[in-house]
Copies of this chain bind each other. A is one copy, B any other.
Amino acid sequence: MTETTFFEEASALLGPRGLTRDPELVDAWLTDWRGRFKGKACALASPASAEEVSALVKLCAKHDVPIVPQGGNSGMCGGATPDESGTAVLLSLRRMDAIRAIDADAGQAVCEAGVILQKLHEAVEAGGMRFPLTLGGKGSATIGGLISTNAGGTQVLQHGSMRAQVLGLEAVLADGQIFNAMTALKKDNRGFDLKQLLIGSEGTLGIVTAATLRIVPAIGERRVIWAGMDSLETARALLLKCQHGAGHALEGFEVLAQSTLEDVLRHLPGSRGPLAGKHAWHALIELVAEPGEAGKIDQLAEGMMVSSFESGLIEDATIAANESQAEAFWLLRDSIAPAEREKGPAVQHDISVPVERMPAFVAAAVPRIEQEWPGTEAIAFGHLGDGNVHFHVIAPHGIDPSGWYKTDGKAISAQVYEMVTQWDGSISAEHGIGQLKRDELGRLGNPVALDIMRKVKQALDPQGLLNPGKLVPLAQGGATP
């Protein structure tokens, strides 16, 4: 029987540490981070090298076995969770966790796909440098997963998303070939830049096994500012002022509304708001400087806030007096998601529009949703500097969640995505598509882009075995891509 043959051959390839069918070991990885998707797998493979991944993929191709690659299983869209058929192998990259080299002079770190983001941060910092991308799931998220989803975070404004950090890449393709483009060349015009195709492809075109990443000088000084203002439009004006005034020193610009701040303060026992009064909108601004530039950055932060106040741009502002106050400011920002969860069921949308249009979008979208679905509360918060907000709609108080998700929740999401599309925005700014948004991408995506995606997918994975059912929407006729 071919199935028996497959497992025998896979076991022989990977050894006992590399392959298991024990439900106790497998099941823990079959539910996604948010608990929305639960799948099945015929086995959990944990190869130890790109060569083992390659051999396993060749074996899967031979036996027509689908493969679902998984890093830290901290994705937001079910992109690393298999379907319920139980035919797929769950391929964990977590055993491949070596940091191979850190070269401060060259500004490069070389590591395997299974390295956890926080471990990379620590290793790079020990060498006096830093890796300029971070996000909430840093204790779980792996480099391979971050690359496959082109992850963002709170430093994109200055440093870009994961795509901007990848200098070199190694991946195993659908036919088992190893694509090695690990050498970082600042200039290389030998044809199509294939690593760009793999970044953000959510494991549908290849399985990332290693990368050469960009690292930058460590931060010497930072100043965290909390400012209050009358509108999101004003926040955008302040953002422009900061970009012009601070240039490369501006590393973060996050926004939240007064009501959101109040939710956070209720959620965090003993916390207090940074400013004395109430303001319609709040901005959290981070400026950084190299070691020894404390005087310069103080002057910059104070100068910008004073002139913003004097010109009427902001109503109030405060600069964190020390590192622990800076951390406290960031804790308020990072507690928005848990604070909102406390308020009850909600549908969440990770969306972007051109930065300059974001204030108008929020001003239009919030009342529209709240009017069409009475009792809901729509909030927008996050990375204004990237034109990316998290747009959450909280269910009416006391409603039955499971029913609401299936009816109103679903209709609200559809409406939000339609509005974003009309505003030339993206239904997924940073979380990706996975299985959660695939049908919506099929419904609302640019038809020409979808056509190219399907053609590229078909060309590089004709058997359709790499992460099936994720990202690439079904073609009109319904053929599985």
Contacts and interface: CB of A to CB of B under 8 A. Distances in A.
Contacts of A173: 448, 452
A52 interface: no
Contacts of A16: none
Contacts of A387: 185-187
A204 to B, nearest CB: 9
B190 A448 contact: no
A376 interface: no
Contacts of A432: 189
The 9 closest A-B pairs by CB, nearest first: A196-B196, A459-B459, A187-B429, A188-B426, A186-B386, A183-B424, A455-B459, A187-B388, A189-B428
A258 to B, nearest CB: 25
Given A178-B448, A388-B187, A194 B453 contact: yes
A412 interface: no
Copies per complex? 2
Interface in A205-257: 205, 217, 240, 244, 247-248
A189 B430 contact: yes
Interface in A161-184: 161, 163, 173, 177-181, 183-184
B180 A192 contact: no
13 contacts: A150-B193, A152-B189, A156-B187, A163-B193, A173-B448, A185-B353, A187-B352, A187-B386, A190-B441, A192-B205, A192-B452, A197-B197, A248-B248
Nearest to A424: B183
Contact of A459 (B103, B191, B458): B458
A183 B448 contact: no
A453 B188 contact: no
B199 A193 contact: yes
B190 A433 contact: yes
B193 A426 contact: no
Nearest to A162: B189
Nearest to A199: B193
Interface in A147-167: 149-150, 152, 156-157, 161, 163
A477 to B, nearest CB: 18
Contacts of A135: none
A352 B247 CA distance: 31
A189 to B, nearest CB: 5
Nearest to A426: B188
A200 interface: yes
Contacts of A388: 186-187
A192 B201 CA distance: 5
Contacts of A188: 352, 426, 428-429
Given A152-B187, A181-B449, A458-B459, 4 more contacts: A149-B189, A179-B449, A191-B441, A217-B244
A18 interface: no
A161 B383 CA distance: 27
A380 interface: no
Contacts of A163: 193
Interface string A381-409: 00101111000000000000000000000
A439 to B, nearest CB: 13
Given A106-B354, A240-B105, A150 B190 contact: no
A425 interface: yes
